[in-house]
Structure 1
Amino acid sequence: MLRIKEVLKEKKMSQIELAEKLDITTVGLNKIINGNPTVDTLLKIADALDEDVRNLLSPSKEEDSEPIYRKDENGNEIIIGYLKK
């Protein structure tokens, strides 16, 4: 589960402000928040919020979760979080 709304509250930032930083519409951002964004999209959001991408994901290793991978500088895949299926 994504924590984007929670992080926005913590940073006292609106969805409108984040959408402007990402150069997308608020409708597009809402679809991302309520949908299943790509890792690249999550990385862009994390960058716009000046957060580690792991802070955008609920810590969960439940069996019904799917790991999110990112390649490190050596090309190795590392788990950066989990999304519920």
Structure 2
Amino acid sequence: MDIKRAIKANGLTVKEVAERMGITPVGLSQHINGNPSVEVLERIATAIGCNVGDFFAPQPTNTITCPHCGTVLEIKKKEA
């Protein structure tokens, strides 16, 4: 799940999304980094202006997303 990527992709910050939801940025971060309910995911999606499914966009198998900053990192095989 990549909520931070969806926030950035829509030109918003965590603070702006939190304000739209009527919660603190810390509260939103706890949801993002925890295990949010479907209801919370729907509220976040509404605040961002996207669909809940956008949080689950598939990534190529050779990349990972940094859970701290949202940067997509490419993983390369070590050549022998």
Deviation at 1:59, TM superposition (A): 3.7
Structure in which a larger fraction of residues adopt helix: 2
Unaligned segments of structure 1, at least 5 residues: 61-85
The structure with more strand, counted as a fraction of residues: 1
Q: Give secondary structure in 1 for the equivalent of 2:45.
A: helix
| Structure-2 separation of matches of 1:41 and 1:58 | 18
Higher Rg of the two aligned structures: 2
Q: 2:52 matched to 1:53?
A: yes
Which residue of 1 is the match for residue 43 of structure 2? 44
Give the Cα separation in 2 of the matches to 1:19 and 1:56.
16
- Does residue 25 of the first structure (1) align with residue 24 of the second (2)? yes
Amino acid at match of 1:20: E
The CA distance in 1 between the partners of 2:12 and 2:39, in whole Å, is 21
Q: Distance in 1 between matches of 2:53 and 2:15?
A: 22
Give the corresponding residue for 1:12: 11
Give 1:44's aligned amino acid: R
Report the TM-score when normalising by structure 1. 0.64
- Aligned pair count reads 59
Aligned to 1:3: 2
**TM-score (norm: length of structure 2):** 0.67
Return the alpha-carbon distance in structure 2 between the equivalents of residues 8 and 50 of structure 1: 9
1:28 alignment partner, SS class: helix
